[in-house]
Amino acid sequence: MKTFKLGGVHPEENKLSAGAAIEILPLPEKVFIPVSQSLGAPSKLIVEKGAVVKTGQLIAKGEAFISANVHSSVSGKVSRIEEVTDTSGYRRTAVVIDVEGDEWDEQIDCSKEVKAEITHSREEIVRKISEMGVVGLGGATFPSHVKLMVPEGKKAENLLINGVECEPYLTSDHRLMLERSREMLIGIQILMKGLDVKKAYIGIEKNKPDAIDHLEKLVAEYPGIEVVPLKVKYPQGGEKQLIKAITGREVPSGKLPIEVGCVVNNVGTALAVYEAVQKNKPLVERVVTVTGKSLEKPSNLLVRIGTPVSKLIEFAGGLPADTGKVINGGPMMGKALTSLEVPVVKGTSGLLIMPEKESRRMPVVNCIRCARCISVCPMGLEPVLLAQLSENQMFETAEKERILDCIECGSCHFTCPAGRPLLDYLRLGKNKVGIIIRNRGKK
């Protein structure tokens, strides 16, 4: 069975909500829509306080090349434009909308009917995806239309669809592949047309046999799409790891996947692309896994962007008494939230509620030079060295040691028997090296 070669770990899977069908979360009374939800330049706000908006109406425009539009996820009145705490724990500008009914913009096709025929040209597809504010839903929130604009002199050969979902606990992509498979496959066809490629591969880890079987039956009707079962190994959902696993190609250090003729998109993104192009529907809702060992009802919820996290937890049975951390994302790469009033954004793939006894970190002791972090690093780096360099502020050496290649998967920290916060220092180092490089460009 295919997989990537270098490093990797196998944490406990804990896919508690794998059997829970996607449920629609009732509309909240208020939504808080952060103005900037994607990677790249901040979007520019275009609504004012007091404005009446419909679901799907544009409220912030992405003007730079790498930035994305933001749409209202509900209908109602803009009651305030204020700073709210977002997933980072900092306060950022957000549009607060009081929900009144659920009136969708006229342009949007709200019918359930699956529209299979792709009538749009390549340019139209890219324009639509950009207009509808579609971003990578795997978590990185990179604007999707930018991925479709292949740079001059490069040629995309393969489209890889990431259905790996290697993070423990998370199941939103798994459920999408089972429940919205036809729409997703059409989305993949649209992406193929947008990129002008003939071949698309859906990579799925073999711990989701039902999804593999289901899609393998369906792909016969969709020429060019192939399902590739993969061995269960973290971090297979990483872009570079997935390319290596499926095509055997290796993305050179510091380069993008297009260098080896590949473009990677998440299954959730494929569905959002379908909705954007075929149904004119902007990215206003997404599937979020709400899970945790002591949670009453681990679920997969279809949630409007901007819904406070507390509403999701309430729906899933309320916050358990022994909660230690509420994590935005999975246990490997996610980040603990500082408040439950944080809104769901485009990049929120899951909420993990961890019991107190599991959530605390191990006590940190001295490094015993076992080199386990080096053997599990999927990028072939030396996490122990990089963390030390970063701790001692030797950022220039860290740059030479390729700290920027780190994908922040956390395998090193996961495997460290001394409990050293390797990933923390790597992230700090990446930040600092990034700043150094940007300043260098200015001179």
Residues in contact with another protein by the rule CB under 8 A = 83, 85, 88-91, 325, 335-336, 338-339, 359-361, 391, 421, 424-425, 427-428, 431-432
Pairing outcome for strands 158-162 and 262-266: parallel
E strands of 42-175, at which residues? 44-45, 52-53, 58-61, 70-71, 76-85, 91-99, 158-162
Size (the chain), residues: 443
Nearer to another protein, 151 or 363 (CB): 363
Question: What's the min distance (Å) between Cβ of 337 and another protein?
Answer: 9
Alpha carbons 172 and 191: distance in angstroms, whole number: 21
Question: What's the min distance (Å) between Cβ of 393 and another protein?
Answer: 9
Question: What's the min distance (Å) between Cβ of 69 and another protein?
Answer: 27
Nearer to another protein, 10 or 427 (CB): 427
Nearer to another protein, 77 or 427 (CB): 427
Nearer to another protein, 90 or 112 (CB): 90
- For residues 215 and 200, the answer to whether their CB atoms sit within 8 Å is no
Burial label, 216 (beta-carbon count in 10 A; 0-12, 13-18, 19+):
middle
* Strand, coil or helix: 34: strand
Closest-CA residue to 62 (of 47, 81, 48, 42)? 42
* CA dihedral over 342, 344, 348, 354, signed as positive or negative: positive
Question: What's the min distance (Å) between Cβ of 231 and another protein?
Answer: 31
Q: Give CA separation, 167 vs 126, 170, 401, in Å.
A: 30, 6, 27
Question: What's the min distance (Å) between Cβ of 353 and another protein?
Answer: 15
Nearer to another protein, 4 or 414 (CB): 414
Pairing outcome for strands 323-328 and 335-336: antiparallel
Question: What's the min distance (Å) between Cβ of 172 and another protein?
Answer: 24
Alpha carbons 241 and 58: distance in angstroms, whole number: 36
- For residues 159 and 203, the answer to whether their CB atoms sit within 8 Å is no
Question: What's the min distance (Å) between Cβ of 410 and another protein?
Answer: 12
Nearer to another protein, 19 or 417 (CB): 417
Nearer to another protein, 217 or 335 (CB): 335
**Radius of gyration (C-alpha) of the chain in whole angstroms:** 21
Nearer to another protein, 91 or 217 (CB): 91
Question: What's the min distance (Å) between Cβ of 391 and another protein?
Answer: 7
* CA dihedral over 89, 90, 94, 97, signed as positive or negative: positive
Tokens 């030390």 sit at which residue? 388
Residue at 106: amino acid letter: E
